[in-house]
Structures are given as structure tokens and as C-alpha cells.
Amino acid sequence: MTEIADLFFEVRMLKDLNRSGYAFLGAGRESIAEHSFTTAFICFAMSRMESGVDRGKLMAMALVHDIPEARTGDHNYVNKQYNIVDEDKAVAHLTDGQAFGPDIRALIDEFNRGETLEAKLANDADQLSFILELKKLKDTGATSPEDWLPYVLGRLKTVTGKQMAKEIMDTRWDAWWTRDYSE
């Protein structure tokens, strides 16, 4: 059981590690765990909207896709130009000795290959999570999201992901609670 406790503490570390790209945006802040939760919830919604998808796999993929960052840290697009991240080594160390380690490794590998329907949706959910953050920043007055949103929107691959992004972009971030507000 020590291996399980170690894994739980490692995954828990994602709450303390911030995503690094926000420094380049000049606004916003988000932990890797916060991002993973939002990504997983988007996958939950996608799994109800997409026919023929393995719901469990899609959600599990979203939950584990960034776990290696507990060891490697989060590297944004600028960092990746100068640093080589050995994610395979991080995944090996994460999963070695775990009874379900091969399951985690397979999900991360499938996510990274991006070939299956589940992997394409999970990758879109990963981007949609970021789009939600950028849209909130834009709606609250930050100007840098205007420059970044076209790039992130361009990464979407699935019809479902693109439809969700359109709705996000057409909806003010606080409309869900101001719509029915009354005193």
C-alpha cells in the first residue's frame, strides 16, 4: 500500500504546482490540478454528447494526462523551446510498482498520440479548459487573451470541441449567474 500512498501524494502535488503560461499572459493563475479538474469535467460533458465514445476511458485520460508534471513541472510553449522534458521517464517512475501502473501509462500514451476518438476529445478538452480561462480574463479586462485565443482555438480537432469553443466564446464568463440575478 505504500506505493498507493506515494502515488496519492504525487498526484496531490499538482495542487501546489502552477501552470507556467500565465506568466507570459501577464494575467491569471491556475494550478495543474485545477486545470485537470476542469478538463475532466469537460470530458464528462463530451462523453454524454459524443456517440461511440468510451466514457470511462475519456474521463480517466483527462484525470491522468498531466500527472507527469508533478515530476517535470509545467512547461509552456516558450519553455519547451529550451528544455527537454523526459516525460517517458517521469511516467515510468510514476507507474513502476503500481498494480494499475500499466493502465496509467497506456492512458497517457494514448492521450499523447492523439489518434483515437477519446484522445482527440481529451486533447480538445485540455484546450477548452485553457479557452475558458482566457475568455474569463478577456471578459474581465485583460488584453493579452486576444492575442492567444486564435492560437488555442486553432488547436481544436473535433466537431464537438469546436462547437463547445464557439459557445464559450459567444457567452460572457459570468452570464450563468447574472442571467437570473434579482434582489
The enclosing domain of 160 has a CATH number of: 1.10.3210.10
Residue 45 pLDDT greater than 90, yes or no:
yes
| 104: containing domain | 2-174
Q: Identify the pLDDT of residue 24.
A: 82
Residue 86 burial (CB count, 10 A): 12
Q: What is the mean pLDDT of the chain?
A: 94
Whether residue 183 is contained in a domain is answered as: no
- Check residue 146 and give left, alpha or beta (phi > 0: left; psi -120 to 50: alpha): alpha
How far apart are alpha carbons 122 and 129 in whole angstroms? 10
Model confidence at 77, pLDDT cuts 50, 70, 90, reads: confident
Burial class for 99, CB neighbours closer than 10 Å (0-12, 13-18, 19+): exposed
CB atoms within 10 A of CB 72: 16
User: Does any domain span residue 84?
Assistant: yes
Helices 32-49, 117-139: axis angle to 10 degrees equals 120
Which ranges of 26-139 does DSSP label H, i.e. alpha helix?
32-49, 55-64, 69-72, 87-95, 101-113, 117-139
Q: Please state, for a pLDDT cut of 70, what percent of the chain lies above it.
A: 100
Residue 159, in any domain of the structure: yes
At 44 the pLDDT is 98
Q: Is residue 76 part of a domain?
A: yes
Burial category of 123 from C-beta neighbours within 10 Å (exposed 0-12, middle 13-18, buried 19 and up): buried
Tell me the pLDDT tens digit for each residue of 115-157.
Answer: 999 999 999 999 999 999 999 999 999 999 999 999 999 999 9
State the pLDDT confidence band at 76, using cuts at 50, 70 and 90.
confident
> Measured between alpha carbons, how far is 128 from 48 in angstroms, rounded to an integer?
16
The number of beta carbons lying within 10 Å of the beta carbon of residue 177 is 8
- The answer to whether residue 122 is domain-embedded is yes
How many C-beta neighbours within 10 Å does residue 82 have? 7
How many structural domains does the chain have? 1
Residue 106 banded pLDDT, cuts 50, 70, 90: very high
Largest Cα span, the chain = 57
In a domain, 158, yes or no: yes
> Per the domain annotation, does 54 fall within a domain?
yes
Q: What is the DSSP letter of 68?
A: T
Q: Which of 91, 143, 151 has its CA nearest to residue 127?
A: 151
In a domain, 14, yes or no: yes
